[in-house]
Amino acid sequence: MLRSNKGLPTAPADLPVTLREVVEYRKSGLSLNHVVGCPLDCAYCVRHLFDNYDMKKPHLVMDDETAVVALTSHWAFRPHQTPIQIFNRATDPFLPRVKDHLHRTLELLDGQGLTNPVLVISRWRVDADDVERMERLTNLKLTVLVTWSGIDDDRLEPIDGAVAEKSLATLAAHAIRTKLVLYWRPIIAGINDSADVIERARELARLADATVFTGLFHRDQIRAHMRSIGMPDLYDSAPRRKIMPRLVERNILDAFANQPIFRKTSCAVAHAHGIADYNGHVGIESICDICPAGQVDICAAAHAKPPRKLISELAREAGLATGTIEIANGRILVDDSTEQQRYFIQHATGFQVHDRSHPHLPGRHGRAEEGWE
């Protein structure tokens, strides 16, 4: 039933089931995606993984009121705790008409008095009107993450990076309670890791409350699309994790020696708000070596080993077998888990949860092997 579609067409009946399920648990939180479709044509888009890349017009899967109920009644949702993301899977939240739904959804959540962290990620135009409307929220801990890459190859990214730069400037000029993160991604070796791009990132970072840098998801479907548009392979492998080669990271960290920068999205969000990282990265050796001392103190003070009983209760709630669960070296180790189960326990405890079948290697920070062998 559609009560307020405000001009977006309704999603077609043959929309893949994964996209019809508008709530999904991702590392940065419960993700609400009741609009799908995007005209921006970034070649590395994760919509390749959902078979949705060819839907260029945004479509509405359900109205905002129904979507908010789906989110807040989801088994994993915790008022005031679970991080939320809106429209981060299959559209850009600030596209024309899509942003009406973004604002409405934010206002519906805020109107319930919820104080959960909310992440909104965009590379599109954020106007002063948008910022003013978001500034009227009073409860949610809102962060707008402006995606900027420094890529100037139109095959990879047809959108002019100046659009994101202007959004950053607009947010920096008008936002007070809404926090602003420069989301520098995807960084690709040999494409946008030159000294000039790094210098531009340093300039843009000065506008933001925090900056995070990440690599490329180079999955099979994304590589196949790149090949179809005539791009030579960007990397040899197509791993499940993002690729951030050691040398690229080293160059960026050297350039940012006197400027804060974060490896993890939730760390940048935490720093922007002056709160502890809800993913508990502080338990993992060497992730925090680049973090400002005051932020490390905040995270360390909040990081406590959760009681075994609580972990077992959460695991049962998530439908995860409890027999082999163990707490060691700042993380909870589990077996045969899904990402949703791990993230639920992680966000409920502020403690990292890893599956033994996907070990995190020291110093690798959960990234792919490529560039580190």
Q: Which residues bind ligand SF4 (CB under 6 A)?
A: 264, 267, 270-271, 277, 281-282, 287-288, 291, 295-296, 299
Strand-pair partners of 59: 36
Supply the minimum distance, in Å, between the C-beta of residue 263 and ligand SF4: 7
Supply the minimum distance, in Å, between the C-beta of residue 364 and ligand SF4: 15
* Residue in this structure with the two tokens 């969000």, named with its chain if needed: 269
Supply the minimum distance, in Å, between the C-beta of residue 299 and ligand SF4: 3
First to last CA, the chain: 52
* Residue in this structure with the two tokens 């994101």, named with its chain if needed: 164
Taking the least distance from each CB to ligand SF4, the nearer of 55 and 282 is 282
Supply the minimum distance, in Å, between the C-beta of residue 300 and ligand SF4: 7
Q: Which of 56, 48, 36, 38 is nearest to 225 (CA)?
A: 48
Taking the least distance from each CB to ligand SF4, the nearer of 37 and 283 is 283
Taking the least distance from each CB to ligand SF4, the nearer of 171 and 212 is 212
Taking the least distance from each CB to ligand SF4, the nearer of 270 and 353 is 270
Taking the least distance from each CB to ligand SF4, the nearer of 40 and 302 is 302
CA angle (121, 126, 127) in 5-degree steps: 160
**Alpha-carbon span 269 to 20, nearest angstrom:** 28
Taking the least distance from each CB to ligand SF4, the nearer of 72 and 352 is 352
Supply the minimum distance, in Å, between the C-beta of residue 182 and ligand SF4: 16
Taking the least distance from each CB to ligand SF4, the nearer of 174 and 271 is 271
**Alpha-carbon span 313 to 223, nearest angstrom:** 41
Taking the least distance from each CB to ligand SF4, the nearer of 87 and 343 is 343
Helices (H), 2-115: 17-20, 64-72, 98-111
**Alpha-carbon span 184 to 167, nearest angstrom:** 14
Phi then psi for 142, rounded to 5 degrees? -90, 135
Supply the minimum distance, in Å, between the C-beta of residue 302 and ligand SF4: 9
Strand 29-32 to 35-36 pairing: unpaired
Q: Is 68 helix (H, G, I), strand (E, B) or coil?
A: helix
Q: Would you state the structure tokens that stand for residue 257, as one six-digit string?
A: 């020696």
In angstroms, the Cα distances linking 80 to 72, 109, 290, 340 are 11, 11, 29, 19
Supply the minimum distance, in Å, between the C-beta of residue 272 and ligand SF4: 10
Supply the minimum distance, in Å, between the C-beta of residue 350 and ligand SF4: 10
How many C-beta atoms lie closer than 10 Å to residue 335's C-beta?
13
